[in-house]
Amino acid sequence: MVYEWTHGISVRGVTAQNAGEELERIRAAHAGRLTADAIVETATDPDNVLHPVFEWDDKVAAEKYRLVKAESLVRHVVVMVDDRPDMRPQRAFVSVRRADDDTDTYASLAEAMSTPDLRAQVIERAKREAKSWRDRFRDYKELAVVFNAIDELVGV
């Protein structure tokens, strides 16, 4: 089997082929069940091919974990639109890149949708994510109608 990273992704210290083979070995060693716990446990060995993927300094890892939790928090807060009770909840904050200082931040959904350059970013990201979803499930013929709609939207 040939393993590759998904488009645009690279992982520090390991090739996709080595990672895929090791993940398969871990899965086989655990009765066909691959879990995050088993991966981390195996990777604790400094000689394991997956070891460089993880941060082993507990202080640094703790800070990175807090950042992940903060990002998760922002992604999981939703807002109900007051004047549209029929609408489903929407994310309250979206990730944008501010042109004035070239940094990634979160903007409220209302701000992002009412600011032309931020709105364009959000729409472009949505199109990329739709295309990525289509690419991930491209072998599911039952979804052909959805794929066609995505292709039309993103201009494929």
16 contacts: CB under 8 Å, gap ≥ 6 = 3, 4, 5
Q: Residue 24 falls within a domain, yes or no? A: yes
Q: Residue 153 falls within a domain, yes or no? A: yes
- Whether this model's pTM surpasses 0.75: no
Q: Residue 83 falls within a domain, yes or no? A: no
- Distances in whole angstroms, Cα of residue 101 to Cα of each of 98, 104, 112, 143: 6, 9, 16, 41
> What pLDDT is attached to residue 62?
97
Q: Which of 8, 31, 53 lies at the terminal end of a domain, its last residue? A: 53
Q: Which of 53, 76, 101 lies at the terminal end of a domain, its last residue? A: 53
Q: Residue 124 falls within a domain, yes or no? A: yes
Name the domain count of the chain: 2
> What pLDDT is attached to residue 9?
82
> How far is the C-alpha of 100 from the C-alpha of 114, rounded, in Å?
17
Q: What angle do helix axes 36-43 and 16-29 make, rounded to 10 degrees? A: 110
Q: Residue 156 falls within a domain, yes or no? A: yes
Query: In terms of Cα–Cα distance, which of 47, 49, 23, 20 is closest to 36?
Result: 23
Which domain covers residue 135, as residue numbers?
Answer: 110-156
> How far is the C-alpha of 27 from the C-alpha of 124, rounded, in Å?
37
- Distances in whole angstroms, Cα of residue 119 to Cα of each of 11, 45, 105, 112, 152: 31, 46, 14, 5, 20
Question: pLDDT by residue (tens digit) across 45-75?
Answer: 999 999 999 999 999 999 999 999 999 999 9
Neighbours of 26 (CB within 10 A): 19
Contacts 24+ apart (CB under 8 A), 76-84: 79/109
Judging by beta carbons within 10 Å of its beta carbon (0-12, 13-18, 19+), is residue 73 exposed, middle or buried?
exposed
Q: Which structure tokens are listed for 110?
A: 């209302």
Q: Residue 84 falls within a domain, yes or no? A: no
Q: Residue 137 falls within a domain, yes or no? A: yes
Query: In terms of Cα–Cα distance, which of 131, 132, 113, 130 is closest to 121?
Result: 113
Q: Residue 28 falls within a domain, yes or no? A: yes
Q: Residue 103's pLDDT band (boundaries 50, 70, 90)? A: confident
Model confidence at 82: pLDDT above 80: no
